[in-house]
Structures are given as structure tokens and as C-alpha cells.
């Protein structure tokens, strides 16, 4: 053997020895989902059998050729699904609960669950909550009661999709009070526990961060309220601003709109109460907490080799630019095509866009080849992308107080 050949063989063996360990393609055969209403396929104020399969987690699983058993909730859903905005209408009747209580769900996401709930909240008898319906069946038939994380540990997952923490931030927007935010230090401890336990299952982890809550059209910017009231009533904007007690950077909840006519008619009844206004200072508090949560999520993702899905960045881009689908620009405005009638949860089209963000992160991190969702095909059949979506006729179109109350009930607010 010549010296050159020996050197060549030695160099080859050295390169093989130090070659980076490229991640294996993800195994999607047993996907488990940890999350809240955004991962459950909640839409139009309801967990409903017609919409659950259109959630982002279901779309990711379908594009990966995997089954994702769902805890389907019989029509008219829980709560009753919103079917109209003006006037507010709901599908009539009472849900019988789970369509098939003997199916073990792999999508464990429960609407209203915080990070703490995902770790420790278990179902119980009687079966009278979404926690019971999603996590309790069929387990409670055999006396088994597990939290989301406990079920994930028991189900031998190959890949786990994790999108939790939204409620920890969003609750502040629902009630216009940052005091209900989960303290960042508590979130840090709980998220570390979550990731340690899920990583111990040996599954690939795909985790998503939390959007700025002011992106959701459940909240209306004060500037839009002032301009809209001035346009509709002829009262100068400066006077409207004073009468309502609003300032730049404030946001109002849906309950504010019922109070505005009375204040305009009798200024002594104003300004708007703090219970319906998230002030600019309070918005800053919510954003600071969200930034803290997202830093923790990113750090834990890096520590455990998880794919990180940047929902915060995605929703910021959608708010700034919208997205053109089927020849029209969809926006994050109310009835803009991306959010459903409750102003918090996406339309089918919105979920498809989010699913593609999950797929992109999964493919990039784990060298996967999951094809993206055809957003145009989803939009074409989406009943909540209305003609003219993205071009609101009025700056005062907003989520109805009735819809807001239904959503708050799910979130325990």
C-alpha cells in the first residue's frame, strides 16, 4: 500500500468519525398532540366534529400520511358553534358529547388549558367538561385518569407536537387584565418540566411559540374605534377619544361596543370602564410576558433538540402584510379570512397556513419530506372566507359580546 493511499484511507476514516450526526427523518407513525384550543381545532367558538379535522395538527398528520385519532364532539359542538355574527346566532340543540367515547385520542389538546393544566389537570366523574370529554374517555371507563402529559408518556409517541402557553397569555386579553398572566418564573419552571418529561419518551419534539395577543381580532385597536365612531356619528375624533377615555395603543374587548352609544348620549356615564379596555401600558405588560414565555420555549427547544415553530413571527407577518390566497388578500382583521367568528381561533384557511409553518420547521430540523398543505384548495372550500374578505366595509366590525362570553366560558374567564 502506497503512502498516498494510506493517507487517503486515514483521511476518509477521520472524516467519517467526525462527520456531524445528521438528524434522522421524523417518524410520524404515532403523533401525539399537547396543547389548548388552537391545537384542538377549535373554531367559531366551539369544539365541533365538523371543524376538528381542519385543525393544524390534523393537517400536519394528514400530510405526513399519519392517523391522528380525535376526540370528536357531536354537533352542535361545545359550546354551541357560532353560525352568524349580525345578529349573533348559534347552532341550536345540545351536544351529546363524544361521537365515539371508545376511541383513544392522540390529539390531547384541551380548549382552555394552560401550561399548568397540561401538566397536571386530570379528568374526573361526572363527565361534564371538555377536560373530561377529551382526556377522560375511554380511560375513565377503566378508572384511568391522566393529564395531557401523563397520556403522552403512556401512548408511546414517535413525534409530539407541542403548542401550549397561549392561554397563559391570552387570558389577559379576554378580561383586559394583565394580573391574570402566568408569572414568567412559574412558566419557566413548568415548561422545563414539560419538555424534560416529553423528551424522556424518546419522541421527536416539535414545539411552537406564542403569538402577540393583540394580533387576534377579539381585540380592537382604540384608533379604529375612535375613527369608526367618528365616521358613523359625525362626532369629531378628538371628542370621541375624550368621551371614551381611550388613548393611542389601547385596545378594547367586544363588550365595549354596547357601552359606547350610552356614553355618547350621556357623557357623564363615561369613560369606558377598565374591564373592557386593555391600556397601552397593560399591552406592554402582556407583550413583555409573552416575550419571556417565548424565550423560555426557544431555550427548551434548543436544549432538547426540538423543532421550533415561530408562530409569533408568522402572525406578525400576517398582521403586517396579510396573505394573498385565491386572488384576494386575507388579513387578521375581523372577518378578514384568517380568523373565525370568535375572533381568536383561525378559519380552516388560517389553520392551513399554521400547519405549513409546523411542516416547515419539522422538515428543516429533522430532514423530513412532509409536503405542505395546499392552502388555496382549503380556502376554496372555506365557509368563513367570505366574499370581500380582507376589505372590511367598516372599521367597527367586531366580535359579538355573545361570542365573547361563550369563549370566556371555555377559558374559565
How many Å apart are CA 139 and CA 143, to the nearest integer?
6
Please name the residue that has the C-alpha cell 348559534: 90
Distances (CA, A) of 248 to 224, 245, 272: 10, 10, 15
Residue 9, pLDDT score: 39
Instruction: Name the pTM for this structure.
Output: 0.92
The neighbouring-strand residues paired with 331 are 337
3-state class (DSSP) for residue 199 = helix
Residue 278, pLDDT score: 98
How many Å apart are CA 160 and CA 353, to the nearest integer?
19
Residue 12, pLDDT score: 38
Residue 10, pLDDT score: 42
Please name the residue that has the C-alpha cell 381580532: 217
Residue 386, pLDDT score: 85
22-57 b/e (C-beta count within 10 Å ≥ 16 → b): eeeebbbebbbbbbbbbbbbbbbbbbbbbbbebbbb
Strand order in the sheet with 159-163: 31-35, 159-163, 204-208, 307-309
How many Å apart are CA 50 and CA 62, to the nearest integer?
16
How many Å apart are CA 84 and CA 322, to the nearest integer?
24
How many Å apart are CA 249 and CA 111, to the nearest integer?
29
Q: If one looks up domain 31-216+281-410 in CATH, what number appears?
A: 3.40.50.1110
**Structure confidence by residue, pLDDT tens digits, 72-125:** 999 999 999 999 887 889 999 999 999 999 999 999 999 999 999 999 999 999
Residue 395, pLDDT score: 58
Residue 389, pLDDT score: 73
| Ranges for all domains in the chain classified under CATH 3.40.50.1110 | 31-216+281-410
Q: Please list the ranges in the chain whose pLDDT falls under 70.
A: 1-25, 390-396
How many Å apart are CA 207 and CA 211, to the nearest integer?
13
All three cell numbers of 304, joined, read 432538547
Residue 15, pLDDT score: 36
Residue 243's φ and ψ, nearest 5 degrees, are -60, -40
Amino acid at each position: 500500500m502506497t503512502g498516498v493511499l494510506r493517507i487517503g484511507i486515514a483521511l476518509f476514516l477521520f472524516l467519517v468519525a467526525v462527520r456531524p450526526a445528521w438528524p434522522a427523518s421524523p417518524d410520524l407513525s404515532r403523533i401525539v398532540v399537547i396543547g389548548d384550543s388552537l391545537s384542538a381545532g377549535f373554531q367559531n367558538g366551539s369544539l365541533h366534529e365538523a371543524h376538528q379535522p381542519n385543525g393544524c395538527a390534523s393537517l400536519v398528520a394528514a400530510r405526513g400520511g399519519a392517523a391522528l385519532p380525535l376526540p370528536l364532539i357531536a354537533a352542535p359542538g361545545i359550546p354551541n358553534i357560532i353560525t352568524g355574527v349580525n345578529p349573533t346566532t348559534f347552532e341550536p340543540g345540545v351536544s351529546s358529547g363524544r361521537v365515539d367515547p371508545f376511541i383513544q385520542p392522540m390529539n390531547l389538546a384541551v380548549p382552555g388549558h394552560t401550561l399548568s393544566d397540561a401538566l397536571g389537570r386530570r379528568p374526573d366523574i361526572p363527565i361534564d367538561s371538555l377536560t373530561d370529554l377529551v382526556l377522560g374517555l375511554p380511560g375513565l371507563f377503566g378508572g384511568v385518569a391522566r393529564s395531557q402529559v401523563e397520556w403522552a408518556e403512556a401512548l408511546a409517541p414517535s413525534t409530539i407536537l407541542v403548542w401550549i402557553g397561549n392561554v397563559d397569555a391570552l387570558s389577559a386579553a379576554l378580561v383586559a387584565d394583565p394580573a391574570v398572566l402566568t408569572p414568567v418564573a412559574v412558566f419557566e419552571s413548568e415548561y422545563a418540566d414539560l419538555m424534560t418529561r416529553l423528551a424522556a419518551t424518546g419522541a421527536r419534539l416539535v414545539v411552537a411559540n406564542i403569538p402577540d395577543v393583540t394580533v387576534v381580532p377579539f381585540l380592537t385597536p382604540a384608533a379604529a374605534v375612535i375613527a369608526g365612531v367618528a365616521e358613523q356619528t359625525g362626532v369629531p375624533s378628538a371628542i370621541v377619544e375624550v368621551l371614551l377615555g381611550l388613548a393611542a395603543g389601547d385596545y378594547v374587548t367586544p363588550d365595549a361596543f354596547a357601552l359606547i352609544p350610552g356614553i355618547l348620549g350621556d357623557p357623564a356615564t363615561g369613560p369606558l370602564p377598565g374591564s373592557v379596555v386593555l391600556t397601552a401600558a397593560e399591552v406592554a405588560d402582556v407583550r413583555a410576558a409573552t416575550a419571556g414565555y417565548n424565550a423560555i420555549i426557544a431555550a427548551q427547544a434548543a436544549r432538547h433538540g426540538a423543532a421550533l415553530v415561530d408562530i409569533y413571527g408568522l402572525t406578525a407577518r400576517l398582521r403586517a402584510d396579510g396573505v394573498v390566497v385565491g386572488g384576494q388578500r386575507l388579513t387578521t382583521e375581523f372577518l378578514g379570512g384568517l380568523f373565525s367568528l370568535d375572533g381568536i381561533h383561525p378559519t380552516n384557511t388560517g389553520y392551513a397556513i399554521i400547519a405549513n409553518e409546523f411542516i416547515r420547521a419539522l422538515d428543516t430540523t429533522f430532514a423530513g419530506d412532509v409536503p405542505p398543505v395546499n392552502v388555496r384548495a382549503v380556502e376554496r372550500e372555506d365557509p368563513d372566507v367570505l366574499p370581500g374578505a380582507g376589505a372590511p366595509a367598516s372599521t367597527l366590525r367586531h366580535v359579538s359580546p355573545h361570542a365573547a362570553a361563550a369563549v370566556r366560558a371555555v377559558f374559565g374567564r
